[in-house]
């Protein structure tokens, strides 16, 4: 899915495409989050209920689902309407072997502000202050709670709803890497916002004026490494299962299939996961692009193995692929 391209800060969008460094949390001081200078903040709706959502628990990503989520898009465009900046939502996940980012399931926003630009730094501070301030009723982190913000990364630091008592804490080793070469990895050229499922789907009180219950999202099954995506809200915490691994002596193909097992692959997608699927169902050459040839071949393969000929790799297809290739 392509990110929206808006007139301002196109340079930042290019930087986003580089890989983001993994987070290793250590202790440090808070980032600059001072609004100052009368900088505008996004508009908060009137008529909000007196009740408010609790701080969001951590709900990890489990799938590869690049649909645009209503709440994610509305929050991104609200910030863009205030400051005229650019933003990105979903990120391709077919190169991944684990569901490691909320971008993969539409629950993350990268909204672009550059800490090296004084105006943009002040705007970023205003956004963060607006999200984490008390409201008139004395609710701390009020807008973050009403929007379902699960965690924030900006300018070398991270704030988490599920570890709010710690305040802002260091993100990775970013304090030791001040070079602009690390600005994307250390989130110095954008604010990253990860949302709860109820926040991403636009069901929270900021949008609906009704407090949303916690939605634990889609659960991955014990025998596959990715979930199939979400159809309806889930009020029950998902069980935690060990990562599924290929057995000893597995073929090269099975070793490639297992890490991506359960990932819903459909026409229009591309990347290494599609290449692996093509190899498994006999598409040659395996181009990594899910087009008409792959759709037709997958339907034939599904029919041959007693599955519905959907032309989409759903969990039932993955289970058959694993079994055919020697998974016990």
Greatest Cα-to-Cα distance within the chain, rounded to the nearest angstrom: 67
In this prediction, residue 13 carries a pLDDT of 35
Give the residue extent of every domain in the chain. Answer: 10-208, 252-324
Cβ–Cβ < 8 Å for 130, 41: yes
Helix axes 70-83, 118-132, angle to 10 degrees: 130
In this prediction, residue 30 carries a pLDDT of 44
CA atoms within 13 A on the CB side of 106: 22
In this prediction, residue 14 carries a pLDDT of 35
Per-residue pLDDT of the chain (328 residues; tens, 9 = 90+): 333 333 344 333 333 333 333 232 222 334 654 444 689 999 999 999 999 999 999 999 999 987 889 999 999 999 999 999 999 998 889 999 999 999 999 999 999 999 999 999 999 999 999 999 999 999 999 999 999 999 999 999 999 999 999 999 999 999 999 999 999 999 999 999 999 999 999 999 999 999 999 999 999 999 999 999 876 899 999 999 999 999 999 999 999 999 999 999 999 999 999 999 999 999 999 999 999 999 999 999 999 999 999 999 999 999 999 999 999 8
In this prediction, residue 113 carries a pLDDT of 98
Cβ–Cβ < 8 Å for 63, 99: yes
3-state secondary structure of 281: helix
3-state secondary structure of 48: coil
Could you tell me which residues come within 8 angstroms of residue 285 by beta carbon, excluding any fewer than 6 positions away? none
Cis bond upstream, residue 285 (ω within 30): yes
Rounded distance, CA 127 to CA 40, Å? 9
- Residue 71: closest CA among 192, 195, 160: 195
Q: Could you say which architecture CATH assigns to the domain 252-324? A: Orthogonal Bundle (1.10)
């Amino acid at each position: 899915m392509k990110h929206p391209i808006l007139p301002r800060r196109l340079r930042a969008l290019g930087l986003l495409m580089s890989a983001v460094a993994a987070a290793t949390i250590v202790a440090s001081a808070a980032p600059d989050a001072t609004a100052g200078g009368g900088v505008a903040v996004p508009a908060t709706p009137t008529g909000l209920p007196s009740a408010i959502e609790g701080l969001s628990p951590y709900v990890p990503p489990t799938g590869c689902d690049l649909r645009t989520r209503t709440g994610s898009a509305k929050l991104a465009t609200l910030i863009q309407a205030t400051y005229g900046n650019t933003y990105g939502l979903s990120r391709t996940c077919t190169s991944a072997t684990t569901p490691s980012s909320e971008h993969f399931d539409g629950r993350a926003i990268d909204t672009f502000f550059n800490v090296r630009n004084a105006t943009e730094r002040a705007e970023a501070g205003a956004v963060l202050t607006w999200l984490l301030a008390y409201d008139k009723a004395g609710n701390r982190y009020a807008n973050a709670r009403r929007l379902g913000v699960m965690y924030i990364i900006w300018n070398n630091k991270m704030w988490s709803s599920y570890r709010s008592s710690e305040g802002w804490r260091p993100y990775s080793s970013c304090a030791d890497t001040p070079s602009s070469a690390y600005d994307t990895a250390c989130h110095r050229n954008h604010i990253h916002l990860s949302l709860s499922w109820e926040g991403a789907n636009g069901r929270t009180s900021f949008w609906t004026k009704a407090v949303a219950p916690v939605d634990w999202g889609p659960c991955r099954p014990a025998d596959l490494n990715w979930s199939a995506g979400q159809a309806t809200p889930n009020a029950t915490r998902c069980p935690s299962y060990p990562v599924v691994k290929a057995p000893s002596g597995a073929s090269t193909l099975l070793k490639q299939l297992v890490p991506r097992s359960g990932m819903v692959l459909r026409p229009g997608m591309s990347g290494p996961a599609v290449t692996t699927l093509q190899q498994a169902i006999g598409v040659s050459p395996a181009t990594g692009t899910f087009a008409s040839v792959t759709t037709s071949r997958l339907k034939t393969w599904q029919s041959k193995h007693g599955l519905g000929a959907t032309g989409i790799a759903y969990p039932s297809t993955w289970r058959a692929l694993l079994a055919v290739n020697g998974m016990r």
